[in-house]
A and B are shown apart, each in its own frame.
Chain A
Amino acid sequence: MSAQQSVLFDAPGPKTKRTILIINVIGAAVLLFVLYLLFKGLGDAGELKPEKWNVFAQGSIWSDYLLPGLMNTLKAAAISIVLALVFGFVFGLGRLSHMTWVRVISSIVVEFFRAVPVLIMMIFFWLFLGGAQLVPPDQSPFVAVVLGLTFYNGSVIAELVRSGVEGLPKGQREAGIAIGLTRGQSLRSIEVPQALTAMLPALIGQFVIILKDSALGSIVTYNELLYSANLVGTGNGNVFQALVVAAAIFIVINYALSALAKWLSRYLASRGEAGAAGHNDGGAEAPPAQVMGAPQTL
């Protein structure tokens, strides 16, 4: 961290170094003071009492509530990831089609689902599917969560696919067509594989969002991690503590996924450079800022 200096700040001289040290100490002191106030407040309110936390040492809390909840979270997230990828590739490539009507329909679908909040979709599917008897009512929360996550994140992935392909140098497609491939063949065998490499980190970032948004399922009574944490809190009179534990689990899993995305993006960048230098075509690296930046986040 210290080795990497930012554009905004010059390498400090001896005087500045002293100033930085002083500010650093002040900053640390302020931080400690804020943390002290926070924990004192929580302590005074009785939230730090051991009996409020002890239940999490019981195996049954984990085996009966939290782990099944986590499994349901992972199940909904995993299925949504697969379906969102399918949705994303279908409509992302649809937006690149040379047939106008395919392009128009794909654009409308993608823009619509990108604009509608996930929670609104979940609540709708939950009540509507159960009421219209399209799925068994006891499965409707699960189906609603999966559909909501799929449509929203699928349309974000569609944009990733599109910007990934559009970010490639034109020469890639021209070369494909020059050797006699059709537009579709060129997309499939030349452009998409390259775009996929460029968009992989952003794609994993999107998986973090799917996992995190699955917590909205608790609002539509899908018994995922947050829902089971609420059950634990209701039964033991420690909702606050249960939510802290649930949040910690989410943070650990998502942080690990984010770290993977970061590592992957660095790895691919270094590989891309090596490839570019080796073949001297400079085409393998799509501008990462553009691809990463395009649809992005939460």
Chain B
Amino acid sequence: MSGYLSLWEQYGGQMLAAFWGNIQLAFYAAVASLILGLILALMRISPVPSFRWVGTAYVNIIRNTPLTIIITFGVAVLYGVFTWQLSSDFNLNFFQIAIFGLAIYHAAFFCEAIRAGVNTVPQGQAEAARAIGLGFFPAAQNIILPQALRGAITPIGNTLISLIKNTTVVAAGSVAEVSGLMKTMIEFRPDQGILIFLTIAMFFVIVVVPVGLLTTYLSKKLAVAR
């Protein structure tokens, strides 16, 4: 037990900083990828063939590529080729690129989640809306999207959970986060290996389980009776 306490003395500050890094990554990437995912979903269900084609190609390519490769590409292409330097702070650029990489990847999954939600709405709902004289936007706003959102809650929640966990992969993009730190900690304190793992695992349990519970609660509460 005293070994574990000394571990906190030695690494506590770094651990909290790394956890905070993961949370920040997850937050910004979630916002960015939800927006991008929504745009992609609209493209995929739009009547414009070129939009549909782009959306489909995007999803099929990105969804089947390992995230590590996407993050490495992010640095090699955005920073190496297109000299991404939005910030004068050198390291902040890589933080932004990491968020960008996470967003690109998870947008494909959010897109599919939203599309799945739209697909749960029966065609009859749209026909009924038009029959009572609603135009495109009123119908979308009042009839279709609210139902679609309910159907999409579970997959969106699951994607969100994956995103939180996948923030551990961006060490490849030079961001201080918890998986890199864990590696160092176990190398230098092999005696505490199991406790180091459990500590970091508990962090994710504490963050992820409430998101899962909230998703289940919402999807049950808002479920559309059909």
A and B directly contacting (CB within 8 A):
yes
Binding site for B on A (CB under 8 A): 1-2, 5-10, 12, 20, 23-25, 27-28, 31, 41-42, 44-45, 47, 111-112, 114-120, 123-124, 127-128, 131-132, 208, 212-213, 215-216, 218-219, 226, 239-240, 243, 246-247, 250-251, 254-255, 258, 289, 292-298
B52 cross-chain contacts in A, Cβ below 8 A: 1
B residues 82-125 near A (Cβ < 8 Å) are 82, 109, 116, 118-123, 125
A246 cross-chain contacts in B, Cβ below 8 A: 69
B193 cross-chain contacts in A, Cβ below 8 A: 124, 127-128, 131-132
Q: Is the CB of A258 within 8 A of B140?
A: no
**19 examples of A-B residue contacts, CB within 8 angstroms:** A7-B126, A9-B136, A10-B126, A31-B54, A42-B77, A42-B81, A116-B205, A120-B178, A123-B183, A128-B193, A216-B68, A216-B169, A246-B69, A247-B69, A247-B73, A250-B66, A251-B65, A296-B159, A298-B159
Contacts A24-B48, A47-B81 given: A215-B76 contact, CB under 8 Å? no
Contacts A117-B168, A251-B61 given: A41-B81 contact, CB under 8 Å? yes
Q: Is the CB of A28 within 8 A of B178?
A: no
Q: Is the CB of B116 within 8 A of A120?
A: no
Q: Is the CB of B197 within 8 A of A216?
A: no
Distance, CA A24 to CA B54, complexed state (A): 11
Identify 14 new A-B residue pairs, CB closer than 8 A, beyond the known A128-B190, A258-B64.
Answer: A7-B123, A9-B136, A31-B54, A44-B81, A114-B208, A114-B212, A115-B161, A120-B178, A128-B193, A215-B66, A226-B66, A240-B77, A247-B66, A255-B60
B182 cross-chain contacts in A, Cβ below 8 A: 120, 123-124
Q: Is the CB of B200 within 8 A of A120?
A: yes
Q: Is the CB of A124 within 8 A of B186?
A: yes
Q: Is the CB of A120 within 8 A of B197?
A: yes
Q: Is the CB of A116 within 8 A of B204?
A: yes
Most buried by B among A31, A295, A296: A296
Chain A nearest CB from B190 CB (Å) reads 5
> B197-213 interface mask toward A, CB cutoff 8 Å, 1 = contact, 0 = none?
10011001100110010
Q: Is the CB of B208 within 8 A of A120?
A: no
A213 cross-chain contacts in B, Cβ below 8 A: 66
A218 cross-chain contacts in B, Cβ below 8 A: 68
Q: Is the CB of A250 within 8 A of B69?
A: yes
B80 cross-chain contacts in A, Cβ below 8 A: 45, 240
Asked if B142 lies at the interface with its beta carbon under 8 angstroms from chain A, I say no
Contacts A112-B205, A116-B201 given: A254-B64 contact, CB under 8 Å? yes
> B164-192 interface mask toward A, CB cutoff 8 Å, 1 = contact, 0 = none?
01101101100000110011001100100
Q: Is the CB of B158 within 8 A of A297?
A: yes
Contacts A254-B64, A293-B116, A297-B158 given: A27-B48 contact, CB under 8 Å? yes
Binding site for A on B (CB under 8 A): 45-52, 54, 60-61, 63-69, 72-73, 76-77, 80-82, 109, 116, 118-123, 125-126, 130, 136, 140, 144, 151, 154-155, 158-159, 161-162, 165-166, 168-169, 171-172, 178-179, 182-183, 186-187, 190, 193-194, 196-197, 200-201, 204-205, 208-209, 212
Distance, CA A111 to CA B125, complexed state (A): 37
Q: Return the chain A residue nearest B45 by Cβ.
A: A6
CB within 8 Å: A-B pair count: 184
B168 cross-chain contacts in A, Cβ below 8 A: 117, 119-120
Q: Is the CB of A112 within 8 A of B54?
A: no
A296 cross-chain contacts in B, Cβ below 8 A: 154-155, 158-159
Q: Return the chain A residue nearest B151 by Cβ.
A: A289
Q: Is the CB of A255 within 8 A of B64?
A: yes
A120 cross-chain contacts in B, Cβ below 8 A: 168, 178-179, 182, 197, 200-201, 204
Chain A nearest CB from B151 CB (Å) reads 7
Distance, CA A117 to CA B178, complexed state (A): 11
B190 cross-chain contacts in A, Cβ below 8 A: 127-128, 131
Cβ-neighbour of B125 out of A7, A123, A295 (below 8 A): A7
Distance, CA A295 to CA B158, complexed state (A): 7
Distance, CA A292 to CA B155, complexed state (A): 9
A23 cross-chain contacts in B, Cβ below 8 A: 48, 51
